[in-house]
Amino acid sequence: MSKKGLAYFLILPALLALLFVHVIPMIWGIVISFLDLNVRNIINWQSAPFVKLQNYMLVFKPGTVIFTGFWRSVINITKFGLITIISGYFIGLGVALLLNKDFPGRTIMRGLILLPFVTPDTVAFSFWRFIFRSRIGILNDMLKSLGIIQDNIIWLVGDRSLYAVAIASIWKGWPLVALMLLAALQQIPQQLYDAAKIDGANAWQRFKYVTFPYLKPVTKTLIIFNILWNFNAFNQFRVMLSENPGRQADIPALFIMRQAFNHFKYGQGAALSIVLLLIMLVFTGIYFYVFRVKSDS
């Protein structure tokens, strides 16, 4: 077998997998998005009537339930994403700088902070839901004994629910940030700091001119990954707020899921998920434009 032949032979299974599990379902999804596929014709999807752009039009027609619900969920997830990415990054950075110092028990600490990251989502967000419960949860009790609040606050309904989910997500997300930044920090040669000190740089200047340039590449990576992860966030909302979190904390994935599997409008759901994909592409596009990341492969 020729060298090239072998290469294609080795890659063929993965390529076929890509075709069958990614490409074909995506095309299928696009086809469905033009159909009125509902609970009456799902048995035989080919029989669903072709409705042209109707499913898409509802997404862009102000006043419809779909329009309000969907765009509200997009705004919510954006808000959620910004809060979790920014706070998660700075908390992670702070802890990374802390752990970059030498102290007894540092290795154990590094293992310990990984705990939230390796705890399965369902488990972590379940106990966070419990913590946030108004009457039986511990958070209100703690706040009350500290004198911060008088009456129990309801966290999981209304405006606060999005923040409750964000807090839990930050708790689960920062350890990875800290560890990746820590790995980068440890690459910085000590001589650079010494030289900066001799030049009379203060702590902030040392951070700005010595530390940060070393963190830049991994920061870029972290941010793009966090954008992807947080804008696709699903588990925390599903576990902490159930399938229908209410308008203040609804997210696109749950909205689309309900359209398809609770309201049985599969065609509408498919159209919404394609619109969501386009939004995701715009987000990542903006990111790559802002950071001018060159794709060099």
Partner 1 sequence: MKKLITLLTILSLIIVGTVSAGAVTIEMQAMGNAPAQLHQAWMEEKAAEFKAETGITVEFNQISWGEEMQRIPLAITTGDGANAMQVGTTQNPFFAGTGGLLKIDMIDFGGEDAFMPANLKSTKLDGTSYGVPWFAETRVLFYNTEMFAEAGVENPPQTWEELVEVGEKIIETHGEGTAIAVAGTSAWDLIHNWAILLWSHGGEMLNADNTEALFNSEAGVAAMKYYVGLVDKGLASRACAEYNQPQVDAAFINGDVAMAVMGPWNIADIRDENPDLPYAVVEPPAGPAGRAAFSGGSNLVIRANASEEEVNAAKQWVQFLTKDEILIDYTKNLTNMLPATKSAFDDPYYETETMKVFKKALGYATAYPPLVEWAEIEQAIVRNFNNVLTDYVNGDYDENTAKKYLDQAAEQVNKILND
Partner 2 sequence: MRKRKYEIFKKICFALAIMLVILIVLVPYMWMVSNSFKTNLEIQGMEPSWIPKTFTFENYKRMNELVPIWHYFKNSMIISTGTMILTLLLGTLAAYALSRFKFKGRTPYIMTLFSTQVLPGILFLIPYFVIFNWIFQTFGLKMTNTYYGLIITYTQFSLPFATLMIMNYLDSVPREIDEQAMIDGCSRPEALIRVIIPLAKPGIAAAGIYSFWMGWNEILFAQILTREDVRPLAVGLLDFRQLTKSQWGSMMAACIVTTIPVIILFSIMSKEIVSGLTSGATKG
Positions in 89-108 near partner 2 (CB under 8 A): 95, 98, 101, 103
Instruction: From the list partner 1, partner 2, none, pick the one residue 185 interacts with, judged by a Cβ distance below 5 to 8 Å according to partner type.
Output: none
Instruction: From the list partner 2, partner 1, none, pick the one residue 65 interacts with, judged by a Cβ distance below 5 to 8 Å according to partner type.
Output: partner 1
Burial 138-165 (b: 16+ CB within 10 A, else e): ebbeeeeeeeeeeebbebbeeebbbbbb
Please report, to the nearest 10 degrees, the dihedral formed by the alpha carbons of residues 250, 256, 259, 260 taken in order. Answer: -150
Q: How far is the CB of 237 from partner 2 (least distance, A)?
A: 10
Residues forming contacts to partner 1 in the complex (CB under 8 A) are 39-40, 42-43, 65, 133-135, 151-152, 154, 156-159, 242, 244, 246-248, 261-264
Nearest to 92 by CA among 114, 107, 108: 114
CB neighbour list of residue 258: distance below 8 Å, 6 or more residues apart: 243, 244
Please report, to the nearest 10 degrees, the dihedral formed by the alpha carbons of residues 118, 122, 127, 131 taken in order. Answer: 110
11 binds partner 2 (CB under 8 A): yes
If phi over 0 gives left and psi between -120 and 50 gives alpha, with beta otherwise, what is residue 154? beta
245: which 2 tokens? 């979190």
Binding mask 109-128 for partner 2 (x = CB under 8 A): x-xxxxxx-xxxxxxx-xxx
Instruction: From the list partner 1, partner 2, none, pick the one residue 15 interacts with, judged by a Cβ distance below 5 to 8 Å according to partner type.
Output: partner 2
Stretch that binds partner 2, among 37-45, 79-87, 158-166, 198-206 (CB under 8 A): 37-45
| Cβ closest to partner 2, residue 62 vs residue 104 | 104
Instruction: From the list partner 2, partner 1, none, pick the one residue 29 interacts with, judged by a Cβ distance below 5 to 8 Å according to partner type.
Output: partner 2
The widest CA-to-CA distance across the chain, in whole angstroms, is 78
| Cβ closest to partner 2, residue 22 vs residue 61 | 22
Instruction: From the list partner 1, partner 2, none, pick the one residue 82 interacts with, judged by a Cβ distance below 5 to 8 Å according to partner type.
Output: none
- Residue type at position 178: A
36 binds partner 2 (CB under 8 A): no
32 binds partner 2 (CB under 8 A): yes
125: which 2 tokens? 């967000």
Which three-class secondary structure state does DSSP give residue 54?
helix
| Cβ closest to partner 2, residue 150 vs residue 297 | 297
Query: What single string gives the DSSP state of each residue in 121-138?
Result: HHHHHHHHHHHH-TTT-H
Instruction: From the list partner 1, partner 2, none, pick the one residue 158 interacts with, judged by a Cβ distance below 5 to 8 Å according to partner type.
Output: partner 1
Among 162, 180, 185, 196, binds partner 2 (CB under 8 A): 180
Nearest to 99 by CA among 47, 156, 175, 169: 175
* Helix pair 212-231, 159-185: axis angle to 10 deg: 140
Instruction: From the list partner 2, partner 1, none, pick the one residue 280 interacts with, judged by a Cβ distance below 5 to 8 Å according to partner type.
Output: partner 2
- Tell me how far apart the alpha carbons of residues 232 and 267 are, in angstroms, rounded to a whole number: 21
| Cβ closest to partner 2, residue 25 vs residue 189 | 25
Q: How far is the CB of 248 from partner 1 (least distance, A)?
A: 7
166 binds partner 2 (CB under 8 A): no
Q: Answer whether 272's CB lies under 8 Å from 254's CB.
A: no
Stretch that binds partner 2, among 42-50, 155-163, 191-199, 204-212 (CB under 8 A): 42-50
